[in-house]
Amino acid sequence: MSVSCSKDDTEKTLSEETASLTVTLNGQAPRTKAVAPPEDADELEKAENTVKNATVFVFNANGTLDKRQTLAAPSLSATISGLLAGEKRVVVVANVPSSVTFPDGINYSWFADAGNVIDLDTQSPETNGLFMSGEDMVTLTANSTAAKTISISRIAAKIKLGTVTISPDPGHDPDKFVLNKVIVMKARGSAMMGLPSAAYTPDVFYGGMAGDKSTVKAYLSETISASDYSNRYFYVLPSDNDDGNTTLITLAGTYDGQPAYFPFRINDKAGTGEASSDGTFIRRNYVYTVNVKLKRLGGGSSNPEVPADPASLDITVEPQDWTAELVQDVEW
């Protein structure tokens, strides 16, 4: 997704040299129903790409604000006039949640304040749309025309449950095992807006169930079974493991009537051989598909936030509208 900018020739009566910036957002207007049924992948992709609103900030080289313009669907285009000629930093934010308020005298450094964040609660195509941001530099020269494209990308990543294979080891009775949930645990609760940092807020975690770290969020839990698990996905914020608390995908069930959990870290190791994982955990605008094989059915964790070590994985990468899709095979 991109924003195109061009500067128009304008006759000026003012003594100072000024320029106009024509900004057009290349996106899709919202639909009556923003999210399609999960089996309709094309409609879901369109919903994830939808831009409902956007704000363009034109900052001077020293970070002070020159002008800003808010765009709203269906007309995602406007001309910002009266800009001073010179080097500019153009910042674009799209699908901004209503909880975010930009101050009148905003400076570029505002985006570097760790208190100005996007909450995971707001990341849904069917409500706010997925927040996107991007920036680039442009030099405006008076009485001439320039063009610039600003790329914007989602701050969220997407976690998808791929295949679930039940292949019990000897001594693990499949008749005693019931699979009932896929949940995300220790999802980062908020993160900065990606200008340029998408750093998460420390010690704020959400999960599909209560945990030692996680506050319950219903949207991070989906009902599944051993025969019904397709089209389950979640949106999460970027996460590393610097604090030992990277985001997990966890299968939940019971074995012989007792709770059993199978938590997995996502993209936590560099791959070998044909695997293409890079060990960077969860990055903005990536899709992570996790294929799970459960063998030790009676050896699940008693804690949905504690993965087994070591765990095996195999990841391949496929380019798509998101930055890439990483397919991860994990085994318990």
CA angle 237, 42, 284 (to 5 degrees): 15
Residues 179 and 215: their CA atoms lie apart, in Å, by: 23
**Mean pLDDT, all residues of the chain:** 83
pLDDT per residue as tens digits for the range 96-155: 999 999 999 999 999 999 999 999 999 998 888 999 999 989 888 887 666 677 788 999
Residues 324 and 317: their CA atoms lie apart, in Å, by: 6
pLDDT of residue 140: 86
Exposure string over 277-306, b if 16+ CB within 10 A, otherwise e? beeebbbbbbbbbbbbebebbeebbeebbe
The letter for the amino acid at 80 is I
Tokens of 161: 């449950």
pTM: 0.86
Tokens of 31: 């639909």
**What percentage of the chain reaches a pLDDT higher than 70?**
81
Residues 8 and 21: their CA atoms lie apart, in Å, by: 7
Q: State how far Cα 75 lies from the chain centre.
A: 25
- DSSP for 134-195, please give it: EEEEEEE-TTS--EEEEE-EES-EEEEEEEEEE-PPTT--GGGEEEEEEEEESEESEEE--S
Q: Can 2-154 and 157-331 be said to share one CATH topology?
A: yes
Quick one: which of 230, 259, 262, 240 has its CA closest to 249? 262
pLDDT of residue 5: 52
* Residue of 317 and 48 predicted with greater confidence: 48
DSSP class of 39: T
Residues 217 and 202: their CA atoms lie apart, in Å, by: 18
37 pLDDT above the threshold of 70: no
Strand-pair partners of 159:
234, 288
Residue corresponding to tokens 């993160």: 191
Residue corresponding to tokens 């493991």: 241
pLDDT of residue 154: 93
pLDDT per residue as tens digits for the range 25-36: 554 444 333 333
The domain 2-154 is placed in CATH, from the list 1.10.3470, 1.10.10, 2.60.40, 3.40.1000, at: 2.60.40
Collapse the DSSP code of 219 into the 3-class scheme (helix H, G, I; strand E, B; otherwise coil) and give the result. helix
* Residue of 54 and 184 predicted with greater confidence: 184
Using only C-alpha atoms, the chain has a radius of gyration, in whole angstroms, of: 23
CATH architecture of structural domain 157-331: Sandwich (2.60)
Residues 18 and 12: their CA atoms lie apart, in Å, by: 7
pLDDT per residue as tens digits for the range 238-282: 999 999 999 999 999 999 999 999 999 998 877 666 556 678 999
95 pLDDT above the threshold of 70: yes
pLDDT of residue 326: 73
> Where exactly are the structural domains of the chain?
2-154, 157-331
Strand-pair partners of 79:
22
Residues 291 and 159: their CA atoms lie apart, in Å, by: 11
Residues 64 and 105: their CA atoms lie apart, in Å, by: 8
pLDDT of residue 221: 98
